[in-house]
Each structure stands twice: as C-alpha cells, then as structure tokens.
Amino acid sequence: MRMVDLIQKKREGGELSQNEIEYLIGEFVRGHIPDYQMAAFLMAVYFQHMTEAETFFLTRAMEYSGQVMDLSTIKGIKVDKHSTGGVGDKTTVILAPIVAACGVKVAKLSGRGLGHTGGTIDKLEAIPGFCTSLDFDQWVKQVNEIGIAVAGGNEQLVPADKKIYALRDVTATVEEVSLIASSIMSKKLASGADAFVLDVKVGSGAFMKTLPEARTLAALMVKIAARSGKKACAFLTNMDMPLGKSVGNALEIIECVETLKGEGPRDLTDICLSLAIKMVEYGAAISEQEAKNRVLERFENLDALNKFAEFVRAQGGDTAFIEEPGLLLADVKVLPWFARADGWIGRMETEEIGKAAMVLGAGRETKESVIDPAVGLVLEKKTGDAVERNEILGYLYYREEKRAEEALEILNRAIDYDTEPVEAPRLILDIVA
C-alpha cells in the first residue's frame, strides 16, 4: 500500500476502505508518512469529503492510535459531555456537580483554551490552590469517592489527532466536517465513557456559524457514537450572544457559583439544566421525566452547590470564594461600558466580544500566552434588551489602561442598536438524537 495511491484515490472522489484508513493513520503516527503527503491527503478530503463509513473508520483508527482509557473500575454508567466551545461557555463547571449530586459519576478530562478565554482547566485554576494535574489512579479514586473529578487532558490519548490537527491548522482544512467529527469523537471514545451529551454551538461566536452546518456535524457525531455502541445526543445551542453574563476565567467561576445558588442568568441556568437532565437520564438509566425531577430537586435544595464545594476541596482548592467572590478579583480595576444610542440591542457580534476579553488578557492569542485569571468583562445587557444612551451595558475588569481602551473600542463595534423591539434569541435550537 502506498500513500500516494490513497491521496490520488481520495482526490478523484474514491471511498477508502477500513484497512486503507488504518494504514494511513498508523504509518503517519509512526513517522513513516511525511507531513507533506498527509497535508495533500487532508486537502483532498476537504474538497471531496468523506462518507459516513470513512469518517467512522477514521475516528476509530485515531482513537486507537494511542492509549484508550479503561474506566471499568468506576462504578455505574459513565457519561461524558463535550462542547464545541463559545464565548462565556462555562457549562462543565456547573453541570458536573449537578450530575454528580444526582448520583451519576462524572470523570472528566478537559483542556485549556486558545482564543477568547481559557478552557475549563484554565477556569478551574482561577480558584486558589485548585490542582488539575491528577494521575489516572487519583482521578478514578476521587470519582468513586465523591462522584466527580476534572483533570487536564492525557497526552497519551489520540496522538494521531494532535499531529493531524497541527497540519489542518496550517493548511486551511480545519472546517471540513468529517475531520471535525473524527477529531472530537476519537478523543471522546478514547476517554472511555459509555454515553455522550454533545453541546454544538451555533452562531457568530461559534465555530459552526449556521444551523445547517451545526446540524450536519451533530448528526455525524451521534452516528459515530452509535456505530461505536455508545448512546449520544447533541444539543444545538445559540452562540449569537455570549452565554451568561461573564467572559473571563475568575468572573465565570463566580457566575458558576451564582448559578449553583439559583441566582445565575436565565440562559446559562436553562442550558445547564437541560444538558444535566439528559446526562442523568443516560447515567442513571431512568426516564427523562425522572431525570428532570431528580436534577431539579438536587439543584433547588443546593445539593449541587455543596457537591461543587466538595469537588473544589478534593482537588486542593480554597472554597472561601464561594461566600466571598471578590477574593478571586484582587487588585483588578473596573471600567463601565456605556450604550451609545437609545433603542434595543439588535445584534451582538459574539466573536468580537470574545476578542475584547482576550485583549484584556483573559485568553490566549498564542499557545505561549499567559492568562490573567482576574480580567474579563461582565454584560448587563444582551440582545433584545431595551437601552438608553449612556446606560451601562457592562463592566471591564482590567489591569492595563491601554488594553482596556482597545477592548472598549472592540466592544463598541460589536453592538448594533435597533429602533424597534427585538426578540431575544432562542437558546436551544434543536436536539439531534
């Protein structure tokens, strides 16, 4: 078998067999196929696409390119959640304790962020003392003891994806749906869960900009899970405005606590409860109505908040911020942001709002960038809200005046005002099961 023949076959629209795909991935990981040939293959896939069967074979070949985690020592059904990411997306930090409080084990591997704000690991590390470097035995032991553990990603999982993504990023092939689906699902499957709840973001602040694109990706990922013998469903959720009010690591942790206390923004609360219900339905093997009743009870009686505190303590974190949130924001300056017109907020360019947070220091422009956990922004108004000129739209949390000025310019460009009332965007656009 020769790589050049596989490139030609895909370039001409042919369908690769399971053996051909396994050869391609195996030899690439072993270093026997050079980057320039894999780059040519990725470009052929970008133009010719992959069939559902090819995408499944690619996913499984990538899954087994490295370590596959065995979670059999964790009792019960293991349910994982994945979000394609967006501005203000902090759902894992809220979801995990809700689900664990309902008796479903949450063994979560999460990553760092590159872009608008940090990933789940960066957010949790905004908590003083919180440790995300757990070895496998510690991670499993904690899940069995308290029902929840969140650690940084295992470098031995899916090495094929790391090598291929590095090429996709520099060859303009990132957007191909089959490559996105195989990248996400190979990591989820290798992490060892029994079922998956996927949160596919749609809109200006998401990777998938349109509902048809997002629906295609969601359906493909659900089919890959099914062919792998796993349960899965995908929620398509709106990212035409930031999720919740806060964008920035410590600010988002504070908002997570507010939400677990029942005082969080309605949009964030609703999405988290909806995802939690599906995770508990799968993990406890009960009906949707039973899962809903259990989730709402554990949320409303603050069992989920108590589970969050237990989780933070178990991983070395200081829980004092739960009652004194200002402890996470020491020495940061605050600047109000004002409306520039009367009317209604007609549109928020969510990606630009994320960029403003990154300029303040809440995200990474490069892998080497250092995040400042305390900076970011809080929105007091969102799409559909009525505003008056010079009314406060939100607050910037910053350290450097120059960065604050640049972020403010971006934010002012990111908002469109309307002279007529505007309907707030629908949050859950579809569910693919």
Model confidence at 116, pLDDT cuts 50, 70, 90, reads low
Active site residue 161: yes
Encoding tokens for residue 181? 């689906």
Active site residue 32: no
Model confidence at 360, pLDDT cuts 50, 70, 90, reads very high
Residue 290 confidence (pLDDT): 98
Please name each of the domains of the chain with its CATH number.
3-48 (1.20.970.10), 79-156+168-322 (3.40.1030.10), 329-418 (3.90.1170.30)
Is residue 177 pLDDT above 60, yes or no? Answer: yes
Q: How many CB atoms lie within 10 A of CB 65?
A: 24
pLDDT digits 0-9 by tens, 133-162: 999 999 999 999 999 999 987 778 999 999
Model confidence at 371, pLDDT cuts 50, 70, 90, reads confident
Active site residue 168: yes
115 or 228, greater pLDDT? 228
Residue 367 confidence (pLDDT): 66
- Mean pLDDT of the chain, nearest integer: 94
pTM recorded for the entire structure: 0.93
Model confidence at 286, pLDDT cuts 50, 70, 90, reads very high
Task: Exactly one of 116, 168, 278, 382 is catalytic; name it.
Answer: 168
Is residue 369 pLDDT above 80, yes or no? Answer: no
Task: Exactly one of 105, 108, 163, 187 is catalytic; name it.
Answer: 187
Mean pLDDT across 33-50: 96
**43-47: long-range pairs with CB below 8 Å, 24+:** 43/171, 43/173, 44/7, 44/10, 44/11, 45/10, 45/173, 45/176, 45/178, 45/179, 46/172, 46/173, 46/175, 46/176, 46/179, 47/11
Is residue 204 pLDDT above 70, yes or no? Answer: yes
Active site residue 191: no
Task: Exactly one of 83, 110, 178, 183 is catalytic; name it.
Answer: 183
